[in-house]
């Protein structure tokens, strides 16, 4: 089905995307797309997800629209690969998530009681999830935390799940005390293991203050990148040609300009 055909034009935008992906994977389609597997596409899925996150944090609607589209393309492409081997297709994916959302929101779709807070919704979600999987299938509150997540958001999610089960510091002061303890141990004996303990404790402090550590670090990375690129524009001959004092002075000026 050619994109300029009346038949294609009559389809919904989502169905047009499905048709485009199928055409790319067809025997006479794109050699690059035809060669891909779920495994070879994984880095692109991760990349698109993070580019989407960046667009959301920048709150730029045109960029958000573009990146959400790129992410949707990855979802449909993986579904097409599954369809080709007879496993499932994109309709199965949509039907599955629709059914799950309806099941896990009975307070919305069945009106079987009002939930007065997000915390109550999360508690109900966990209860329904356990019933779906069977009590014996869920042996730990941490079972749903993917080991494939990057370490920082994985640590945050682990601690969030543990806290929802009642295992958490009683207050921010206790979390800060643990961080100071881990910092002292790391300072006394720097090692990968001790640094990991410091970072995990720091995530606990962030959790106590309602701060997303991944978002916080992304923001700092973005801020550093912008200021560093400002230095490069200010010293086009290269930073190595400038004195440390000149670089520090310029950096402080850039910091004031961006605050």
State residue 135's pLDDT score.
55
What distance, in Å, lies between the first and last C-alpha atoms of the chain? 53
Burial degree of 243 (CB within 10 A; 0-12, 13-18, 19+): exposed
**Closest alpha carbon to 29 in 69, 1, 57:** 1
Closest CA to 50 of 210, 218, 216: 218
The predicted pLDDT at position 138 comes to 54
Q: How far apart are CA 190 and CA 183, in angstroms?
A: 10
Ranges under pLDDT 50 in the chain: none
Give residue 167's Cα distance to chain centre: 24
Q: What is the dihedral of CA 86, 90, 95, 96, to 10 degrees?
A: 70
Residue 258, pLDDT score: 80
| Residue 246, pLDDT score | 92
Answer whether 0.85 is exceeded by the pTM.
Answer: no
Q: Rounded CA gap, 74 and 44, in Å?
A: 8
């Amino acid at each position: 089905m050619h994109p300029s055909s009346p038949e294609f034009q009559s389809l919904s935008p989502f169905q047009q995307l499905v048709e485009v992906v199928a055409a790319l994977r067809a025997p006479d389609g794109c050699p690059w797309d035809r060669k891909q597997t779920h495994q070879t596409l994984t880095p692109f899925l991760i990349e698109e997800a993070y580019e989407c996150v960046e667009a959301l944090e920048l709150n730029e609607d045109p960029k958000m629209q573009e990146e959400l589209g790129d992410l949707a393309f990855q979802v449909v492409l993986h579904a097409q690969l599954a369809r080709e081997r007879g496993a499932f297709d994109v309709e199965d994916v949509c039907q599955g998530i629709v059914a799950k959302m309806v099941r896990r929101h009975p307070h919305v779709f069945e009106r079987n009681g009002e939930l007065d807070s997000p915390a109550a919704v999360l508690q109900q979600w966990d209860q329904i999830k356990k019933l779906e999987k069977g009590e014996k299938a869920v042996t730990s509150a941490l079972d749903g935390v993917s080991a494939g997540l990057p370490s920082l958001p994985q640590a945050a999610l682990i601690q969030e799940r543990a806290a929802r089960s009642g295992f958490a510091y009683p207050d921010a002061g206790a979390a800060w005390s643990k961080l100071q303890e881990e910092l002292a141990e790391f300072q006394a004996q720097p090692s990968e293991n001790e640094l990991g303990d410091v970072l995990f404790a720091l995530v606990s402090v962030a959790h106590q203050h309602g701060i997303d550590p991944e978002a916080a670090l992304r923001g700092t990375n973005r801020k550093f990148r912008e200021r560093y690129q400002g230095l490069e524009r200010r010293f086009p001959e290269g930073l190595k040609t400038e004195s440390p004092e000149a670089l520090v002075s310029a950096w402080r000026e850039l910091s004031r300009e961006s605050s």
